[in-house]
Amino acid sequence: MAQTYGYVRVSSREQNEDRQLVAMRNFGVEDVNIFVDKQSGKDFQRKGYRRLLKKVKPDDTLVIKSIDRLGRDYDEILEQWRLITKEKQVAIVVIDIPLLDTRQKERDLTGTFIADLVLQILSYVAQQEREFIRQRQAEGIEAAQARGVKFGRPSATTPPEFDIEVAKWRNGEQTAVETMRRLGLKRTTFYKLIAVQNGEGE
């Protein structure tokens, strides 16, 4: 007997999948047939998704809330769509996009063309948006650096009495350990500042 399965994905464990679960139940998918992943959609190496692929069989139906819940990569989405609908012969229903419903076996050529076109456009737009986000982030970092903003771990700050205490250490008046203690510095920071003082560092 043909089964209806649901696939739910959120990008991290902190995000809530309730909205998607409600959509699955309203569609009529039983809880036992809902597979959930809490990880990025950058690829399809997800435990829930892999278990789902092993479970479905010809004439079953896979329900997803929106196309980006399936994945994030344009080429990968198209490949997985082909794998599910052509190789596994499983129908796909995208709740948010009624045109993306392959349950209609006897679709005419125009209907099939429109569904394929909508899928490719949506997948392309999703990927372009991610690339725009990365580009904006890179431009933001570049602009910040131009304003003098530094990224990464902050440079070690030299204590005001550094030169005096180091002079005592160099003259043999106190040990390196005592000097570090008096300056409140860790060993790595201390020797990093010594290197800078000697002209070997920044």
Q: Catalytic positions, please?
A: 11
Q: What is the DSSP letter of 61?
A: E
